[in-house]
Amino acid sequence: MSYQVLARKYRPASFEELAGQEHVLRALINSLETNRLHHAYLFTGTRGVGKTTIARILAKCLNCDTGVTATPCGTCGSCLEIAEGRSVDLIEVDAASRTRVEETRELLDNVQYMPTRSRFKIYLIDEVHMFSNHSFNALLKTLEEPPEHVKFLLATTDPKKLPITVLSRCLQFNLKNLSPERVVSYLQEILQKETIGYEDDALWHLGRAADGSMRDALSLTDQAISFGENQINETDVKAMLGSIDRGEVYRLIDALIEHDGKQLLDRIEHLAEFSPDYSALLGEFLSVLHRVAVAQAVPEGIDNSQGDREVVMAIAQQVSPEDIQLYYQVGLLGQKDLPFAPDQRSGFEMSLLRMLSFVPNVPPGQIKSGADTEQVNPIAGDEITSAAVTDTQETRAQVSDLSPIRALLEKNDVKPSAPAIVDRQSENESMIPFDEEGTVKTLAQPERNNVQQEARKQQEVVVQAEASTSESGPTPIDTSGLGSNQSGENTKALKLSDEAGEELTHDQWLTIFPDLGLSGVTQTLAANCTIGETDGDASTCCLILNQHHASMWNKTHEVRIAMALSTYVGHTMAVKIEIGKSHQESPAEAAQRHADEALARAKVSIENDDNVQELIQSFDGTLVEESIVAKARD
C-alpha cells in the first residue's frame, strides 16, 4: 500500500478525535442530541483548522444508519461511504471551480429529489465565498427554504465576502486558530503512534511555523521526518524552516539590557550568517517584548503557549517597565522605516542601536564597547545589589548568579559571552523623580542635574558602606548623626531610638513611612509593604510585599529602605522583604483610604452647601461629582 501523508492518515473521524474547537463541538453535539437541526451550517476559519473535517463528521452524524447521533458508529454503510468519499447523498462541491451561475442552477435542480439511500441529501460547498453574485442569488431561495431531506454545509476562509443575505440564512461557526501548545501536544501523540523519535524544542518550532493550522503542522512534520531521516531534531527543523532560534532574540535582549553595544553588533553579525528575514526577526523581537510587558503588568497572564515562560519572566525581573515600553515603541517605528533603509540589516541594526542610545539616564559614555566591557556604572546599581547591613560578599556572589536570562539560556545549552546584567530598574528609580502622589515630575534641566547629583551621593554612601565590609562578616553602618535633620533633631527618631530594643510595629511603620525620604520605585515598593514577624529581632525589620507588586522587588530596594530606616531611627537596622499576603493595611492603602474619606467629606460638604443648592435650584443645574477634588489638609 502506498504511503499516506499524516494529514490524511490522522484526519479525525469523530468529534472525540478533534483537537480544539470545543466551542463549535459543544453546539453541534447539543443540537444533535436534542434533534434541533438547522438546514444550513456555515463553518469559517483559516486554512487547516478543521472546517471540512467537521462538516464531514456532521454528515456522518446526520446519515448514520443507527440514527441521528453525535457519535456515529463509523462501521455502517453510510459512515463508510462518507469516510471513503463515495457517498452519493453527500455532494461535495468546490465553489472555486463552479463559479458560474449556470453550474449553480444545475446543482440545485436535483435538490427536489429524495436521497438515494441515506436519511438526508447533504450539500457540502467548500470555499463558498468564491461563488459569483449571480450564483449566490440563485442559491438564496433554496438556502432559505430547502426541502426537509436537504442539508447545506458551507465552508469558507473569508466570510466577509459572503452576502449578508447568505449569512442570515445559516448557523455560523467561527473556528479558532490552534495554539502552538495544542499543536505540539497533538504532534507528540501522532509521533508516538508512528514510533518516530523527536525533540520537544523541534516540535515547538513546527507548532509556531504552522501559524494555527493543524494541517500545515502535519505537512511540516512529514517534511521534517524526511529531512531528518525518520528523526525530528531541533537543528534539522531550524535548517529546514530557515528560521532563527528564538534564543538569538533573547541574546539580543540580554545585550540590550546590559547596554553592551559590541555584544549587540556581534550577535547581529552572527545572525547575518543565516540570511534571516530581518522584518520577521524584528517582529519576533517585538513579540517577546510584548510578552515581557504582559509579564510585568499581569504575571499570571503569561502562559507557556510558546514554551518560553521562564525566560520571559526572568527578563521581566531584569528590565524596568519603562524601558520595555521604550524598546517596543522604537521597534514599531523601526518596522515602519525598515523598507526605506538602504538594506534590511542596516535598518534592523539602527532600530536596536536606537533602543541602546535612547534609554533614559544612560550617558553615551556608559554604553559598553569592546574596550570597557568590564567597567561598571556606579549609578546603575550593579555595585549596590548586596545589603550593607548583611553579609556583603555572600550576597554579591548570589546576585552574580542571579542572571535569570543567562541561567535559563545556559540550561538550554545557550552560552552568551556577556558580562553581568546591570540592574536597570534601580538605575531608573535613582534618576526619575516622583512627587508625593507617586507620579513622575517634569523637571527642568538644572533640576534634573541636581537630582542626579543627589542620587550619586546616595549611591556613593552605600558603596562606601559595602567597601567597609570585612571577610569575617558585615560591619554595621556608621549611623552617627543620621538621626537628625539639618533643621534640628528628629524628635520621632529619638523616640524610636529610645525603644531600640522593641520591634517596629505596624502603627509606627504607617507613621514614619512618609518621613523616610524614599523615592521612585523604592518608595512605591515600600508603600505596598506591611510589617511582618521578625522572631523577636528588633534590629531587623521584616516587610511583607503585596504579591501583585512582586515584579518591582530586587535586593537594591532592601539596601535603600535599610539606609533610610537606619537614618530615621538613629541606629542600625536591617531590612528583609518577603513576598506574600497581609491582612494589615499598607501605607499605600492607608493613603488611598484617607484620600477616599477626604473626597467623601468634600462631596458631602458641597452637596450641603447653601450656595450650591441655590445655584442648582435656580438654574436647574446638576452637580458633577467627578469634578470634586478634596483639598489636602495642612
What pLDDT sits at residue 452?
45
What pLDDT sits at residue 68?
92
What pLDDT sits at residue 361?
55
My answer on whether 357 and 401 are in the same domain is yes
Segment 489-500 mean pLDDT: 45
What pLDDT sits at residue 408?
59
Domain count, the chain: 5
Which of 44-53, 180-189, 610-619 has the least mean pLDDT?
610-619
215 band by pLDDT with thresholds 50, 70 and 90: very high
The CATH number for 16's domain is 3.40.50.300
Final residue before a domain boundary, out of 200, 225, 241: 241
**Do 51 and 159 meet the contact criterion of CB atoms below 8 Å apart?**
no
Domain assignment present for residue 443? The answer is no
Selection from 56-65, 536-545, 611-620 with the highest mean pLDDT: 56-65
The CATH number for 231's domain is 1.10.8.60
20 band by pLDDT with thresholds 50, 70 and 90: confident
Q: Which is more confidently placed, 538 or 313?
A: 313
| Residue 376, pLDDT above cutoff 50 | no
611 band by pLDDT with thresholds 50, 70 and 90: confident
Tell me whether strands 488-489 and 484-485 are parallel, antiparallel or unpaired.
antiparallel
My answer on whether 122 and 88 are in the same domain is yes
* pLDDT tens digits, 510-558: 888 888 888 888 888 889 999 888 777 778 888 988 878 787 787 888 8
* pLDDT tens digits, 405-429: 655 565 555 443 333 333 434 444 4
My answer on whether 595 and 611 are in the same domain is yes
**Do 431 and 360 meet the contact criterion of CB atoms below 8 Å apart?**
yes
My answer on whether 579 and 597 are in the same domain is no
**Numbers of helices and strands, H then E, in the chain:** 27, 12
Domain assignment present for residue 449? The answer is no
What pLDDT sits at residue 606?
87
Query: How far is the C-alpha of 530 from the C-alpha of 582, rounded, in Å?
Result: 7
| Residue 446, pLDDT above cutoff 50 | no
Query: How far is the C-alpha of 580 from the C-alpha of 218, rounded, in Å?
Result: 45
| Residue 432, pLDDT above cutoff 90 | no
Domain assignment present for residue 262? The answer is yes
310 band by pLDDT with thresholds 50, 70 and 90: confident
Segment 93-117 mean pLDDT: 85
What pLDDT sits at residue 72?
92
What pLDDT sits at residue 224?
92
Angle between helices 321-337 and 424-431 (to 10 degrees): 100
Segment 557-561 mean pLDDT: 87
- Scanning the structure block, which residue is given the C-alpha cell 528628629? 490
Segment 46-59 mean pLDDT: 92
What pLDDT sits at residue 391?
40
Final residue before a domain boundary, out of 174, 192, 216: 174
- The fraction of the chain above a pLDDT of 90, given in percent, is 28
Which of 80-94, 135-149, 354-368, 541-555 has the least mean pLDDT?
354-368
What pLDDT sits at residue 632?
59
Q: Cα angle vertex 571, ends 568, 575, to 5°?
A: 75
My answer on whether 190 and 143 are in the same domain is no
Q: Which is more confidently placed, 393 or 551?
A: 551
Distances (CA, A) of 226 to 74, 209, 231, 446: 32, 17, 8, 67
Q: Computed from CA positions of residues 102, 104, 107, 109, in that sequence, does the dihedral angle turn out positive or negative?
A: negative
Domain assignment present for residue 185? The answer is yes
What pLDDT sits at residue 132?
86
Q: What is the mean pLDDT of the chain?
A: 77
Indicate yes or no: pTM above 0.85: no
Segment 348-355 mean pLDDT: 92
Domain assignment present for residue 634? The answer is no
- Scanning the structure block, which residue is given the C-alpha cell 505540539? 184
Domain assignment present for residue 448? The answer is no
| Residue 66, pLDDT above cutoff 60 | yes
* pLDDT tens digits, 379-389: 333 333 333 33
My answer on whether 303 and 417 are in the same domain is yes
Cell of 433: 523623580
* pLDDT tens digits, 242-258: 777 778 888 899 888 88
Segment 40-44 mean pLDDT: 94
Domain assignment present for residue 474? The answer is no
441 band by pLDDT with thresholds 50, 70 and 90: very low
- Residue type at 194 in one-letter notation: E
Segment 555-565 mean pLDDT: 87
Selection from 355-359, 428-432, 449-453 with the highest mean pLDDT: 355-359
- The fraction of the chain above a pLDDT of 70, given in percent, is 76
> Which letter does DSSP use for residue 242 in this model?
T
Which of 69-73, 150-154, 307-311 has the least mean pLDDT?
307-311
What pLDDT sits at residue 420?
34
What pLDDT sits at residue 82?
92
My answer on whether 322 and 416 are in the same domain is yes
| Residue 472, pLDDT above cutoff 70 | no
Distances (CA, A) of 251 to 60, 315, 528, 539: 52, 11, 33, 42
Domain carrying residue 566: 484-584
My answer on whether 259 and 354 are in the same domain is yes
| Residue 118, pLDDT above cutoff 60 | yes
What pLDDT sits at residue 183?
92
Final residue before a domain boundary, out of 142, 174, 206: 174
My answer on whether 154 and 101 are in the same domain is yes
My answer on whether 145 and 223 are in the same domain is no
Q: Which is more confidently placed, 442 or 116?
A: 116
362 band by pLDDT with thresholds 50, 70 and 90: low
Domain assignment present for residue 439? The answer is no
My answer on whether 407 and 394 are in the same domain is yes
Tell me whether strands 121-126 and 197-198 are parallel, antiparallel or unpaired.
unpaired
| Residue 62, pLDDT above cutoff 80 | yes
Which of 70-84, 123-137, 262-276, 374-388 has the least mean pLDDT?
374-388
Strands in 40-44's sheet, in edge-to-edge order, are: 90-94, 121-126, 150-156, 40-44, 171-174
The CATH number for 401's domain is 1.20.272.10
My answer on whether 573 and 616 are in the same domain is no
